[in-house]
């Protein structure tokens, strides 16, 4: 049979539970950790964005120099 009709119901994990976040004292420790991660993720993305915006040109220059040196040494024999 292609379709399995005898499947068990899986317990779904709540992702968008903003009403439960309003009651901080009633939350479990896992819910608190997930909420903190969800709040800190945009901050992490902003830090990575600022870093890449500021240092993207030097990073590209270093990668370019690395590949030029590698291309220059491609025909040399290694011992």
Per residue of the chain (79 residues), what is the pLDDT tens digit? 456 666 667 776 666 666 777 788 888 888 889 888 988 999 999 999 999 999 999 999 999 999 999 888 877 766 5
The Cα-based distances of 27 to 13, 55, 73 in angstroms read: 15, 41, 60
**For the chain, how many structural domains are there in total?**
1
Q: Is residue 78 part of a domain?
A: no
Q: Is residue 61 part of a domain?
A: yes
> What local confidence, expressed as pLDDT, does residue 56 receive?
95
> What local confidence, expressed as pLDDT, does residue 4 receive?
61
Distance (Å, whole) CA 20 – CA 31: 9
- Does the predicted TM-score (pTM) go above 0.85? no
Q: Is residue 67 part of a domain?
A: yes
DSSP, res 3: S
Apex CA 42: angle with CA 40 and CA 47, to 5°?
A: 95
Q: Is residue 79 part of a domain?
A: no
> What local confidence, expressed as pLDDT, does residue 6 receive?
65
Which residue range is the domain that position 38 belongs to?
Answer: 18-72
Q: Is residue 24 part of a domain?
A: yes
């Amino acid at each position: 049979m292609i379709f399995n009709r005898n499947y068990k119901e899986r317990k779904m994990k709540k992702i968008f539970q903003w009403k439960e976040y309003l009651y901080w004292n009633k939350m479990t420790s896992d819910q608190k950790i997930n909420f903190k991660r969800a709040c800190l993720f945009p901050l992490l993305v902003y830090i990575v964005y600022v870093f890449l915006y500021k240092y993207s040109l030097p990073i590209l220059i270093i990668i370019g120099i690395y590949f030029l040196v590698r291309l220059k040494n491609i025909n040399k024999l290694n011992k």
